[in-house]
Amino acid sequence: GAGVSQSPRYKVAKRGQDVALRCDPISGHVSLFWYQQALGQGPEFLTYFQNEAQLDKSGLPSDRFFAERPEGSVSTLKIQRTQQEDSAVYLCASSLIGRILQETQYFGPGTRLLVL
Amino acid sequence: AQTVTQSQPEMSVQEAETVTLSCTYDTSENNYYLFWYKQPPSRQMILVIRQEAYKQQNATENRFSVNFQKAAKSFSLKISDSQLGDTAMYFCAFMKHGLGTGNQFYFGTGTSLTVIP
């Protein structure tokens, strides 16, 4: 596709509900990143995939957060038993290879999650 | 750990004038990249400009230029001839390359820029 897309753009969940956020990276991009952006803050790293391999999940805030990219393209970020503190914008970014230092990440529009 | 600090939460500038957004960072890395990203109200992050740490020459992209001071760990963004479309949140970002971690970004808290007609 022309850019990184994410769905849904907005999600309202009741506390305790499970949610799934989808990211479609730019076609052919090997690397995929998830970030969490709280209100008034900069994005914070959650996890990183190279193809289907999740190479870094050090930023996931708890074991309620789970990400996958089974075929090395589309990725899903799942949050189980959502809590109010999970309310944030979740950004996805992709880059062509990710092993070259000068690579640029291209960001999607984000999914705004509100947990009531 | 890497930290990125943007000390100006909000700024405004008159249309056609010049504005400078500040950014400082802290790292023990010697090889890294610095970026400025723009995030309009639609929330899609757009790359504005990037700077390689090993290059002494400041990066320039049309109306956007940076003042990179490696020893001071400072990376400011200058926007010349400001336009209404420049109104957005601007994030300074630091990128290091880690084995097995790809290119992980560290973002500042952002500066909200408003261009006044």
Domain boundary assignment for chain B: 3-112
Q: Where along chain A do its domains lie?
A: 5-98
- Which residue, among A4, A9, A23, A37, would best test binding to B if mutated, counting the most B CBs under 10 Å from its CB? A37
Domain A5-98 = CATH 1.10.3720.10 = no
Structure confidence at residue B99 (pLDDT): 58
- CA B87 to CA B81: how far, in whole Å? 13
User: pLDDT tens across B50-106, in order?
Assistant: 998 888 899 999 999 999 999 999 999 999 999 999 999 999 999 876 655 566 788
Q: Cβ separation of A101 and B33 shorter than 8 Å?
A: yes
Contact B107 A43 (CB under 8 A): yes
Per-residue pLDDT tens digits for A23-39: 999 999 999 999 999 98
Q: Determine contact, residues A63/A113, Cβ cutoff 8 Å.
A: no
Domain B3-112 bears CATH identifier 3.10.20.740:
no
Overall average pLDDT of the A49-63 stretch: 92
Judge whether residue A43 has pLDDT over 70: yes
| Contact between chains at A45 and B31 (C-beta distance less than 8 A) | no
In this prediction, residue A105 carries a pLDDT of: 84
**Residue B54's pLDDT is what?**
84
Does A94 touch chain B if contact means CB atoms closer than 8 Å?
no
Question: Which pLDDT score, from 0 to 100, does residue B98 have?
Answer: 62
Query: Radius of gyration over alpha carbons of chain B, in Å?
Result: 14
What mean pLDDT do residues A46-59 have?
Answer: 91
Q: What is the CA radius of gyration of chain A?
A: 13
pLDDT top residue among B105 and A49: A49
Residue A1, pLDDT above cutoff 60: no
Q: How many CA atoms lie within 13 A of A114 on its CB side?
A: 5
Taking CB atoms and an 8 Å limit, are A108 and B109 in contact across chains? no
Nearest to B97 among A44, A101, A110 (CB): A101
- Give the 3-state secondary structure of residue B57: coil
Q: Give the nearest partner residue to A55 out of B43, B97, B101, using CB atoms.
A: B101
Cβ of B100 within 8 Å of Cβ of A45? The answer is no
Q: Decide the pairing of beta strands A53-56 and A111-115.
A: unpaired
Nearest CA in chain B to A48: B101
Q: Given CB atoms, is A10 within the 8 Å cutoff of chain B?
A: no
What is the number of other CB atoms lying within 10 angstroms of the CB of residue A80?
14
pLDDT above 80 (res A102): no
